[in-house]
Amino acid sequence: QQQVKQSPQSLIVQKGGISIINCAYENTAFDYFPWYQQFPGKGPALLIAIRPDVSEKKEGRFTISFNKSAKQFSLHIMDSQPGDSATYFCAASMGAQKLVFGQGTRLTINP
């Protein structure tokens, strides 16, 4: 029940295309859903986060879509660029408690 399932494991998108990564969770007590971007040899960086009172949040080219009834949330990267090539992790937590991470998605943007 504490798991967050992320898909796909890897994704290849052409430059300018839309990258979509999906996550599903079981625990309905989760109330904070962040996405992290990690480059090789670096720590994860908070990209964007959402709480369940909204269905969508947009920051620049990055959008989180949240479906509370389906217990799913996704990250959309519009106009994907080679610099977006990285590993992306979704996560979830209850309040200020520990994060539960998804398995990660390795995104490659082809020029």
Partner 1 sequence: GAVVSQHPSWVICKSGTSVKIECRSLDFQATTMFWYRQFPKQSLMLMATSNEGSKATYEQGVEKDKFLINHASLTLSTLTVTSAHPEDSSFYICSAQITGIGEQFFGPGTRLTVL
Token representation of residue 43: 């720590």
What is the distance of C-alpha 51 from the center of its chain? 13
Least CB distance to partner 1 at residue 3 (A): 11
- Pairwise CA distance, residues 53 & 8, whole Å: 26
Q: Which of residues 30-89 bind partner 1 (CB under 8 A)?
A: 32, 34, 36, 41-46, 49, 89
- Minimum CB distance to partner 1 smaller for 103 or for 110: 103
How far is it, in rounded angstroms, from Cα 27 to Cα 16? 35
Least separation, in Å, of the C-beta of 33 and partner 1? 10
Separation CA 80–CA 7 (nearest Å): 18
Q: Which residues bind partner 1 (CB under 8 A)?
A: 32, 34, 36, 41-46, 49, 89, 93, 95-96, 98-99, 101-104, 106
